[in-house]
Chain A
Amino acid sequence: MGTFLTNPRMNRALAERVRASLRTGRSRGARVDKRLTAALRLVSLVGIVGALIALSVLRKHADDQLEHARAALLDTATKKRAQLSSDDLQTLDRLTTVLLHAPGPYEGDKLANEARGAGALSALLERPMIYVRGPEEAFRSDETLRRAALLSYADAFVRCLVDPPRTRTEKAYLERIRQASETDAPAARVHRLYDLVAGLPLLQTPWRDKVKAATELRELTSLDSELHMAKLDETIAAARARLVLFVMDESSAPTGLSELDGERAHDVRVTLFDLEQHAPLLRLRRHVDPAAFSDRGRASRATALDACALSLDVRDATTKGDTTTEAAR
């Protein structure tokens, strides 16, 4: 049996004695038989190597899982992103710029030609658009806007605007409000701003970089959950919209009475903005007051009644085309 203690320059007899010393010699200071020591060391070594191999296999498996999850996530994101044009991807930025500009001094009512006349508004409402409503403070920063987007959805205003009640009566308003809550069909083309705010960042490069940088499956799982919760189909649809309809509730006098749902008399700005032309198609300012409704109606649906009435005001204004601003222009 060869050994590293000998070499070719050694006399053969000496080399044989060195080998014999390895076979029969006793280790210095050892109290245990060297064969037992060797066996213990071998067992320990095998144990350590086995543990390392198991660790390596587990690590490889975890890495494979990680890469598989990463690839799946990136694939999903890539496919979704492929459905959007570069303009679509800029929708949120454009829209944000417009919305953050809204709280300034009111620039007066305006109706573009596309919004003037009977049927003009209905034609516009056939186009995909993004809707958001919130108090004036919500339009002052990205953060507040995001919060407003979260709370904003296709409410009574949108539904009544798209599918107006037959008459300006409280009963007709309530009927429309109830019908609207039973079906989403009229609001199918109106998308929540939140769908865009929540989903569009997931289709952009920083989020992909986060996916690529993730080192643990837990992180990817979290990102995957984020992706699936984002309702990307809604996001894609919202990103393709070129119109934005936003309603800004101005602050009312502090002395005014509030209904049970918080509604009170105040001014409301309604704007329909064309993002492609970067110009408002419609800009109106109207006063809403729930005092015109019955006590029963106010108690349960004051805000919705005001919203429905406001939608009719908008529709009336476009039908008649009697905005002072436009006229002035």
Chain B
Amino acid sequence: MDAAVPDLLHATPMTRIDMDATQLALTLAFASGVSGGLFAESLDRARLAPSTWQPESFAADLFLSQFVGACFKIRAAGTAPLASVTHLVRVLSRPPSDVRSVEHRRAIVGELASNAGLRSSLEKLYVLLNRFRTLLEGARGAGWDLNRRQLDILQAGGEIIECMAQDFVTARSGLSRLALFGQRVMAGEPYQSLCDLLRYDENLATLDLKVGVGADGRIRGFRIVAVETNERNPFVTSTWRRWLAKLELFVRGFQFGDGEVMARLIDAVFEGIQADFVPLVQLLGDVEFYLGALGFAEVAQAAGLEVCLPDLVNPMERLRLEGLFNPLLLSMGMRVVPCNLTIERHDTTTLITGPNSGGKTRLLQSLGLTQILGQAGLFIPARAGSIALCPALVVSLIQETKADQAEGRLGVELVRIRALFERLPRGAMVILDELCSGTNPSEGEEIFELVVRMLTMLTPQVFITTHFLAFAETLQKERRIAELRFLQVELGANHEPTYQFVPGVAKTSLAGHAAARLGVTAEQLMALIEKNLSKLDATAHAG
């Protein structure tokens, strides 16, 4: 296994950040202390493994950024540092095409979830990485000792390497790369020189003292018994040689002093080790990815929900999701009702019907996020379940009206449908909310049937909500499209939605219930009119 880069995201390790640019930024940050967000910029511009997914097809409709910001809560050593949302969204929205990388990530997540020691080590590593980042990116104040700062950076880097080499030896998943990387670096001369320099900084010599104490208990004096210099340290030299070194620096145009000698040694040590420090920038993003996923599990657990690593199945196998919930609701403080979903196979088109505010759109969001998380190799928002990996995800949940749009609502929808067919590969997942709702039902139903019929030719996983109840019932009865499946919102005893989904087509949208709940019945509207008129009359009399 290549231990050159401790890549935790891909089965085949790859360098995703721009090493040259990052190394230059690292060098500048080390020298000046002002890097301007070295880590964030480098991670945001990092390459990702090949992916067939296009984030613009789903990220905004699924509120992916909000989901990451709200649910990928990283906790490490009692602190809650802010993760790089941009980087996490990029990684989540571009799942690797290589299934081995998905398995690679699932193995790491599984090991972290089952091994508290490794998770603790990863959190420790994250804290060290953040300290390293803070030291590098921290602004330099007046009177700052530059040598001390750089020694602190070197020490922080050394601790990271040591943590990687020692704390992940027992890992069996891709985390073992951390140990391999750390051990490789520790075996090298640059790391040995770094340790020697830090020891030289901390312990040039050891003095044996005898302290004289008077009758009153106060220290009256001390005597040096012996002086022992650390002769094995290559940085330790005799006093006269240090003086000559200072003189040499002065002649060469440097400042005269011990600080300048130390500066040259620090530069030499950093020059050697910096190439091993650059991958730490990428590693920070990787660690955030996994700790964020673990944080998501904890957020769900805090709400009484469970997450799981789904089974990866063939699209022709049964779709089964138990305890599926919408993670977007977690951050809203709303009651989250998990549901179970079972469909006889993944590569089918499912029409979902039910009353307004019955949870259809929330279900679509849950399915989309589940696919994203599952395909990224992370926990899905369900107690148990399976997913079939797909080459693309297209989601159309939001129909915003724009000031510059040339078409009406139906026109916009039709343009999106055309765009969908332009780039949709075979086996993709398609999620559409209220298809063709922008025109009269009779004409809309024709387009609806056309779209569904065409979609089935690409054997995708399709989930569509609709209020064309009669049309849906006809499709069900006549079985005009064999691949169609039907789910409806389950209603309770009082025709209230239970937010569960069962096979079949809903009989009513219960619009009257929604109108009554929102105050749009005839009596309620009449009462409002009478109230406004009497108020206007009173104003006229007063005038």
Q: Which residues of A are interface residues toward B (Cβ below 8 A)?
A: 3-5, 7, 9-11, 13-14, 17-18, 20-22, 25-30, 33-39, 41-42
Residue from the set A7, A25, A37, A41 with the largest chain B CB neighbour count within 10 Å:
A25
Chain A residues within 8 Å of B271, by CB: 17, 20-21
The listed residue (B241, B260, B263, B269) touching A4 by CB distance below 8 A is B241
The listed residue (A4, A5, A10, A27) touching B253 by CB distance below 8 A is A27
Pairwise interchain contact B241-A7, C-beta atoms closer than 8 A = yes
Alpha-carbon distance between A28 and B260 when the two chains are bound, in angstroms: 7
What are 20 A-B pairs at a CB distance below 8 A? Answer: A4-B241, A4-B244, A4-B247, A5-B265, A7-B237, A9-B234, A11-B192, A11-B234, A13-B190, A13-B272, A17-B267, A21-B271, A28-B259, A29-B255, A30-B254, A34-B252, A34-B253, A34-B254, A36-B253, A39-B253
Shortest Cβ gap from A24 to chain B (Å): 9
Interface check B11, CB cutoff 8 A: no
Interface residues of B in 216-255 (CB under 8 A from A): 232, 234-235, 237, 241, 244-245, 247-255
Pairwise interchain contact A5-B267, C-beta atoms closer than 8 A = no
Alpha-carbon distance between A14 and B235 when the two chains are bound, in angstroms: 10
Chain B residues within 8 Å of A10, by CB: 234-235
Q: Smallest CB-CB separation from A19: which chain B residue?
A: B268
Q: Smallest CB-CB separation from A12: which chain B residue?
A: B189
Shortest Cβ gap from B438 to chain A (Å): 66
Residue from the set A13, A17, A20 with the largest chain B CB neighbour count within 10 Å:
A17
The listed residue (A5, A27, A30, A34) touching B245 by CB distance below 8 A is A5
Alpha-carbon distance between A33 and B254 when the two chains are bound, in angstroms: 9
Shortest Cβ gap from B505 to chain A (Å): 75
Chain B residues within 8 Å of A4, by CB: 237, 241, 244-245, 247-248
Pairwise interchain contact A14-B241, C-beta atoms closer than 8 A = no
Chain A residues within 8 Å of B267, by CB: 17, 21, 25
The listed residue (B147, B232, B253, B260) touching A41 by CB distance below 8 A is B253
Closest 10 CB pairs of A and B: A34-B253, A38-B253, A37-B253, A17-B268, A4-B245, A21-B267, A18-B268, A4-B244, A9-B234, A27-B254
Alpha-carbon distance between A10 and B31 when the two chains are bound, in angstroms: 24
Q: Smallest CB-CB separation from B146: which chain A residue?
A: A28
Chain B residues within 8 Å of A25, by CB: 254, 263-264, 267
The listed residue (B147, B255, B260, B269) touching A14 by CB distance below 8 A is B269
Chain A residues within 8 Å of B193, by CB: 11, 14
The listed residue (A14, A18, A20) touching B189 by CB distance below 8 A is A14
Chain B residues within 8 Å of A37, by CB: 253-254
Pairwise interchain contact B260-A38, C-beta atoms closer than 8 A = no
Pairwise interchain contact A14-B261, C-beta atoms closer than 8 A = no
Chain A residues within 8 Å of B235, by CB: 10
Shortest Cβ gap from B197 to chain A (Å): 9
Using known A-B contacts A4-B245, A5-B248, A28-B255, determine if residue A20 contacts B268 with beta carbons closer than 8 Å: yes
Given A13-B189, A14-B189, A14-B269, 16 more A-B residue pairs with CB atoms under 8 Å apart are A5-B249, A5-B265, A7-B234, A11-B234, A13-B190, A14-B193, A14-B272, A17-B267, A25-B254, A28-B254, A29-B255, A30-B253, A30-B255, A34-B254, A37-B254, A39-B253
Pairwise interchain contact A14-B253, C-beta atoms closer than 8 A = no
Shortest Cβ gap from A44 to chain B (Å): 11
Residue from the set A5, A11, A13, A36 with the largest chain B CB neighbour count within 10 Å:
A5
Chain A residues within 8 Å of B189, by CB: 11, 13-14
Shortest Cβ gap from A310 to chain B (Å): 87
Q: How large is the interface on B (under 10, 10 to 19, 20 to 34, 35 or more residues)?
A: 20 to 34
Alpha-carbon distance between A41 and B245 when the two chains are bound, in angstroms: 16
Shortest Cβ gap from B486 to chain A (Å): 71
Chain B residues within 8 Å of A22, by CB: 249, 252, 264
Shortest Cβ gap from B340 to chain A (Å): 63
Alpha-carbon distance between A34 and B252 when the two chains are bound, in angstroms: 7
Residue from the set A9, A14, A36 with the largest chain B CB neighbour count within 10 Å:
A14
Residue from the set A18, A20, A39 with the largest chain B CB neighbour count within 10 Å:
A18
The listed residue (A13, A18, A41) touching B251 by CB distance below 8 A is A41
Pairwise interchain contact B251-A5, C-beta atoms closer than 8 A = no
Shortest Cβ gap from B459 to chain A (Å): 59
Pairwise interchain contact A21-B234, C-beta atoms closer than 8 A = no
Pairwise interchain contact B263-A3, C-beta atoms closer than 8 A = no
Using known A-B contacts A5-B261, A13-B272, A18-B265, determine if residue A27 contacts B241 with beta carbons closer than 8 Å: no
Pairwise interchain contact A14-B252, C-beta atoms closer than 8 A = no
Chain B residues within 8 Å of A21, by CB: 264, 267-268, 271
Shortest Cβ gap from B128 to chain A (Å): 25
Chain B residues within 8 Å of A36, by CB: 253
Chain B residues within 8 Å of A33, by CB: 253
Residue from the set B189, B249, B253 with the largest chain A CB neighbour count within 10 Å:
B253
Chain B residues within 8 Å of A27, by CB: 253-255, 260, 263
Alpha-carbon distance between A17 and B189 when the two chains are bound, in angstroms: 12
Shortest Cβ gap from B371 to chain A (Å): 50
Shortest Cβ gap from B316 to chain A (Å): 59
Residue from the set B245, B250, B264 with the largest chain A CB neighbour count within 10 Å:
B264
The listed residue (A7, A26, A41) touching B250 by CB distance below 8 A is A41
Residue from the set B189, B192, B251, B254 with the largest chain A CB neighbour count within 10 Å:
B254
Alpha-carbon distance between A3 and B247 when the two chains are bound, in angstroms: 11
Chain A residues within 8 Å of B272, by CB: 13-14, 17
Alpha-carbon distance between A30 and B250 when the two chains are bound, in angstroms: 12
Using known A-B contacts A7-B234, A11-B193, determine if residue A28 contacts B263 with beta carbons closer than 8 Å: yes
Chain B residues within 8 Å of A41, by CB: 250-251, 253
Chain A residues within 8 Å of B248, by CB: 3-5
Chain A residues within 8 Å of B254, by CB: 25, 27-28, 30, 34, 37
Pairwise interchain contact A35-B253, C-beta atoms closer than 8 A = yes
Alpha-carbon distance between A27 and B245 when the two chains are bound, in angstroms: 14
Alpha-carbon distance between A35 and B268 when the two chains are bound, in angstroms: 19
Q: Smallest CB-CB separation from B254: which chain A residue?
A: A27
Alpha-carbon distance between A245 and B521 when the two chains are bound, in angstroms: 164
B 31-57 binary contact with A (CB < 8 Å = 1; else 0): 100000000000000000000000000
Chain A residues within 8 Å of B268, by CB: 14, 17-18, 20-21
Shortest Cβ gap from B247 to chain A (Å): 8
Shortest Cβ gap from A13 to chain B (Å): 5
Pairwise interchain contact A38-B251, C-beta atoms closer than 8 A = yes
Shortest Cβ gap from A27 to chain B (Å): 4
Chain A residues within 8 Å of B232, by CB: 9
Chain A residues within 8 Å of B234, by CB: 7, 9-11, 14
Q: Smallest CB-CB separation from B272: which chain A residue?
A: A17
Alpha-carbon distance between A3 and B251 when the two chains are bound, in angstroms: 12
Chain B residues within 8 Å of A7, by CB: 234, 237, 241
Interface residues of B in 251-302 (CB under 8 A from A): 251-255, 259-261, 263-265, 267-269, 271-272
Shortest Cβ gap from B21 to chain A (Å): 20
Chain A residues within 8 Å of B253, by CB: 27, 30, 33-39, 41
Chain B residues within 8 Å of A29, by CB: 255
Q: Smallest CB-CB separation from A21: which chain B residue?
A: B267
Chain B residues within 8 Å of A17, by CB: 267-269, 271-272
Shortest Cβ gap from B151 to chain A (Å): 13
Alpha-carbon distance between A35 and B264 when the two chains are bound, in angstroms: 16
Alpha-carbon distance between A33 and B251 when the two chains are bound, in angstroms: 13
Alpha-carbon distance between A220 and B245 when the two chains are bound, in angstroms: 49
Using known A-B contacts A11-B189, A22-B252, A34-B254, determine if residue A5 contacts B269 with beta carbons closer than 8 Å: no
